Chain A
């Protein structure tokens, strides 16, 4: 069955380290998204991509970057992790032209 996976599911890192969170989908969806979830804020969009080589900043993109070298993957990189980036991160994907997104299981990141 087609699916969307995230790895790792849990990660503890130290301030200043570079961290990469993986997102892989097997639906062949054009669109992919990264969100962070924090208490009182719901989910906020970090970055998104509407196809290979396309990436765009969302509302909370500072300190994060993404790259899209193929349809299946959209890794999220924290260049220099900060304690403020402790959060749960969700990846999502959608078909071109579709108004519905499908979510991965999430990655809980703790920055000490």
Chain B
């Protein structure tokens, strides 16, 4: 069965310090993995995606994620947090479903708080 586990429901960091949001997945297939960000009362914005290309994957706003097959992980990092990074982050695995289609499996989200 396919699943996504975000290991921390809340993460707090000080502005200017590194960010690490952890995601482990379980998939019977070679996965396609995504990170989305959701700012308060906003929709989902794609941060980055991994689809069997080079890793680490670079995304928007200085975020990066590394796919580690041996650890079944896809952790999201940023060298220096900014106040505007405060948001909810979702790790997603896209898995084959039927007839060449795919479905998303979402993690439960990590709320990032950035302290001044």
Interface residues of A (CB under 8 A from B): 31, 33, 35, 40-45, 48, 50, 90, 92, 94, 96-101, 103-106
Task: Determine the chain B residues whose CB is within 8 A of the CB of A43 once the complex forms.
Answer: 90, 104, 106
The answer to whether A96 touches B94 (Cβ under 8 A) is no
Interface residues of B (CB under 8 A from A): 9, 32, 34, 42-44, 46, 49, 51, 90, 94, 98-104, 106-109
Assess A104 versus B43: contact at CB under 8 Å? Given A42-B90, A99-B94.
Answer: yes
Among candidates B101, B106, B107, residue contacting A31 with C-beta atoms closer than 8 Å: B101
Among candidates A40, A101, A104, A105, residue contacting B104 with C-beta atoms closer than 8 Å: A101
Interface of chain A, helix or strand or loop or mixed?
Answer: strand
Task: Determine the chain A residues whose CB is within 8 A of the CB of B49 once the complex forms.
Answer: 100
- Docked complex Cα distance between A15 and B58 (Å): 46
14 A-B residue pairs with CB within 8 Å: A35-B106, A41-B108, A42-B107, A45-B104, A50-B99, A90-B43, A90-B44, A96-B100, A97-B101, A98-B102, A100-B94, A101-B94, A103-B44, A104-B43
A-B interface, 5 closest residue pairs, ranked by CB to CB distance from nearest: A42-B106, A99-B94, A99-B102, A105-B43, A99-B32
- Docked complex Cα distance between A42 and B6 (Å): 10
- Docked complex Cα distance between A105 and B94 (Å): 20
